[in-house]
Structure 1
């Protein structure tokens, strides 16, 4: 056995082998893969092998499409048959809202480059004549969907990887992982091997492997059963294979398997998990005992949809389990707290997602970034705050609701209330409807008594109430609880030098200064956005999105050099955050503090500690709403006192609570970019038209060379700010932008601007189309609407209100 490699991958399932294959494609061949059993042991060998295109995420659609294209060509590349069948796929819709979602997915498909047709009942019957469609209104047909034999496909990837230089050791169980200097040492039953980079593609053993390193990985082993029938008489003489059917009514997939049928339900009832305390190490190609009685209600629904199931007997039942993450997306990327340690596991549909996830992980490892944004797969989207009870409850709920429709604003229910600010109960009594961010309860909007949000892909009934919140902010003053903000303190003798080389913008020159800064990857892409406040010569407070807490804290720590005199501390739970903003914000706060809040003393983009109701509070003169305003950061145990004082002082001024829906509308009117939408690790600040936040002249910083090269080469995309000629719906994100019949861009985010009465969006477009006044078209839910590129924000373009 080799004693050293550049990369070691633990796990020989589809994720591990795909990563090895794609590392070779990206130029790294000094790779060793170790597998405790045979290749494809674990989840891969018993998977049903379906590969659908249909998904509501643009980048996940890219991952699915890549996998299908790869499976089609693997046999010609390697000589190994993969059992690929291009059967096509149908997803059924039972009502208008489901059809709206299908229309949105069809728009995504056009951008990725695969066919997805929204079809009616007559077309469905032509494609699949055996379905019972009494409660169906339509569906989607993806003609290039298919299925593969998982073990054969995995072996084909392994053949190609070996040819490229990868060494694979089967029947070699890892028994421990230790950090040895700057490298990883993997102890195995056949000896030890060290490596520079380590990938855990450990499937349903991931939690146990993580234990070796003190990690709590958020995986739950969810049991899934499917059955294969005897041959069906009606299929014996068919020369065309039936498409794979996905039916939300029975929560199941159904397809032809040779001359029989294959079907599997995702139960939305008493879902079973397996080996919560750890999978036996001897478990390789074993299955669980079948339990058809438990899934019989869904089998009956499945047979109602496809009555052919009633005509034949069951040949075999496959009962296995799959490691799921709480949001059912795989975990692909760096592991927090450890350098050069990567995770690739947790896919609910791994055969479909394995090739693409392996490709983009390999790019990330080799080049520092992938061709697509990987934020939604990054393992650091979860953090230490999530308990084992939360992980299991949420994963089980998400698995039960796999076939549920998830319109904008959809929220899960299990595990809620993990973190709540001290003002949570106050807001709840006022009708706050809460969302969730990194476990925090965060107000989305305020509903009158008896009003529930009716979610929609067009526009929910919250629209009118959000309008009132927006007008309150624009005309008087509003208060928003943003305690969920990530708050990180960086201090020490070398703190300034550390941040100066880590962030792209200039730091505040003196205490009390505030700057908007970005952390870039070594390819120049945007990895984080932070508001940086200089508290003292050697102490800074960094604020960023709540969902980025684990990721930003980890990125800062990994940017630190060995022995550097810098302390990085996560103080998120030490301080609350109240946004007080609107034209009457100064008038309100002036009645709660003796501090001078005038422009001369407290200008825009500055910070001071002030006393509010006897509480020493850090106040920042900033506002993401684009109004005169402050963000207040009191000690969290004093936050309720500050909130009550602010609301009491604001009562005569018409103060109102507002939520994240309103904030999104307000920031769109100011053309403020959003991290995770306009800013991501897929593009740079140059494409986002934010070059003013790059201090090229200050000297070296992370990503500088790559940005300079990007400037010289020119960009393929440019961010455009759009006004839409549509009044009854808002963008969802990922809609295509057209110039004539050519797709010329993609929407990142947007919504209706209530104060200006304009429907707004951001989109990345061909740079030749980004000039103000250019007229384009946007496709929304199957229809096209005109849109116009704007030259400046539709609200306060000169920042007069911000600086008032």
Structure 2
């Protein structure tokens, strides 16, 4: 039986961010990664490093997200120096585009709510079409306007994924591929994890397996309220870079292509396939947003599943003694704070004040699994 101080269950960006942080603190860590057969949001991620809109349903999420993007440059610099991988961080500001006046009004209300969470210290602007086109001339005349925030940006999620795995290995972390956890049992010293091929004894465990946290939670008698929401992304052929700002609906990549998104599909279940009606609608919206795309070829598309909680905010909770739940949708945006603050919480066992209200208790008794 393998032994570790802390077993991190999951192999994506969230899990590895925490695992790397724990190794930097000197803890003996094992990562149990189900592998490429898992539904892995990390490889389908749009790559935003983003604050806009976060916290309208849970006010503490706004300062948490702001703090996360503020320390992201430290993470990017450390990964470059330690692993040699440039994760292509850019933080030049971000836009959210609205096609209709009704959408723009809803966006304005949401942004005002977010700003109120931090007593006005959150900077943003609501732009009409004229102001928007002054900032990005390529925006089409049919676009009603949008919101702008200087905090937002992007990173390459696949490079980040690669860099975190390389950093973990170089720090001497123990990594078990193809190690999905079939059962969790409590022991006198902590937990025993059964993968079907081996058993792992750990004093503490971290549940960081995305949508898989629902099943892991039930092994501990806890209901983790996460659901899949599919998003579909289109990738264009290489085009000249015509704007520097990142947009929630579109962004240039360092490779010269553009990523175009904009779907929120709650009824897709765990199906990651693309669908013609949704990709057609995304392409139609993209051409309205940016008329220059009408002559640009789409090379490929994919679908991926977001990990969404009832208030679209992270959950951080010690769901049983020494068992730490870490689940969120924005694994890229929150990577730096997961490596620092969340890893520190798992290490010390005392939850910091800024994390205290992210627990399951905000959902009432929903966290108690059925017998």
Q: TM (normalized to structure 2)? A: 0.82
Q: CA RMSD in A?
A: 3.3
Equivalent position SS for 1:125: helix
Shift of 1:7: 0.6
| Paired residues, number | 356
Task: Select which of 267, 276, 285 maps to 1:292.
Answer: 276
Q: 1:47 to 1:207 in 2, by over 3 A?
A: same
SS at match of 1:382: helix
Q: Distance in 1 between matches of 2:333 and 2:196?
A: 32
Secondary structure class of the residue paired with 1:71? helix
Cα offsets for 1:652-677 (capped at 9, x unmatched): xxxxxxxxxxxxxxxxxxxxxxxxxx
Question: 1:342 deviation in Å?
Answer: 1.0
Alignment partner, residue 451 of structure 1 = none
- Conserved? CA contact 2:190–2:204, under 8 Å: yes
User: Which residue number in structure 2 is paired with residue 321 of structure 1?
Assistant: 305
Secondary structure at 2:356 match in 1: coil
Query: Among residues 321, 324, 335, which one is paired with 1:342 in the alignment?
Result: 324
**Aligned counterparts of 2:175 and 2:268: Cα–Cα separation in 1:** 31
Task: Tell me the equivalent position of 2:5.
Answer: 6
- 2-side partners of 1:322 and 1:98: how far apart? 21
CA displacement 1:225-253 (0-9 Å, x = unmatched): 11112234xx2xx4x6532223xxxxxx2
CA contact (8 A) 2:260 2:282 kept: no
Asked if structure 1 preserves the Cα contact closer than 8 Å seen for 2:50 and 2:153, the reply is yes
TM-score normalized by the length of structure 1: 0.40
The within-5 A match list for 1:660-739 is none
Note the 1:483-522 alignment, pairs <5 A: none
Which has the larger helix fraction?
A: 2
Match of 2:245 among 229, 243, 246: 243
Quote the residue 1:464 is aligned against.
Answer: none
| Counterpart mapping for 1:305-704 below 5 A | 305-335=289-319, 338-345=320-327, 347-385=328-366
Q: Secondary structure of 1:23's match?
A: helix
Aligned to 2:66: 61
Structure 2 residue runs of 5 or longer lacking an equivalent are: 56-61
Say whether the 8 Å CA contact 1:61–1:109 is kept in structure 2. Answer: no
Query: C-alpha offsets along residues 40-97 of structure 1, whole Å, 9 cap, x if unaligned?
Result: 9711112121112323422232234334552354212332232334453123465567
- Name the structure 2 match of 1:460: none
Specify whether residues 164 and 271 from structure 1 end up closer, same or farther in structure 2 by C-alpha distance, changes over 3 A only: closer
- Bigger RCO (CA 8 Å, 6+ sep): 2
Q: Secondary structure at the match of 2:71?
A: helix
Does the 8 A contact of 1:227 with 1:263 survive in 2? Answer: yes
Shift of 1:156: 1.7
Q: What is residue 267 of structure 2 aligned with on the other side?
A: 272
Distance change >3 Å, CA 367–CA 117, structure 1 → 2: farther
State the match for 1:656 in structure 2.
none
Give, in whole Å, the separation in 1 of the partners of 2:119 and 2:77: 19
Partners in 2 of 1:150 and 1:386 — Cα distance? 31
Quick one: structure 1 residues 330 and 186, their matched pair in 2 at CA, closer, same or farther if it must change by over 3 Å? Answer: same
Distance 1:259 1:80 in 2: 18
Q: Which residue of 2 aligns with 1:447?
A: none
C-alpha distance in 2, partners of 1:220/1:15?
17
8 Å CA contact retained: 1:330, 1:348: yes
Mapped partners of 1:372, 1:161: distance in 2: 28
Distance 1:41 1:71, change over 3 A: farther
- Residues 177 and 101 of structure 1, relative CA distance in 2, 3 Å threshold: closer
Q: CA deviation at 1:118?
A: 5.8
Segments of 5+ residues of structure 1 without an aligned counterpart are: 247-252, 276-286, 389-804
SS in 2 for 1:351: coil
How far the C-alpha of 1:343 sits from its partner, in A, is: 1.0
CA contact (8 A) 1:33 1:169 kept: yes
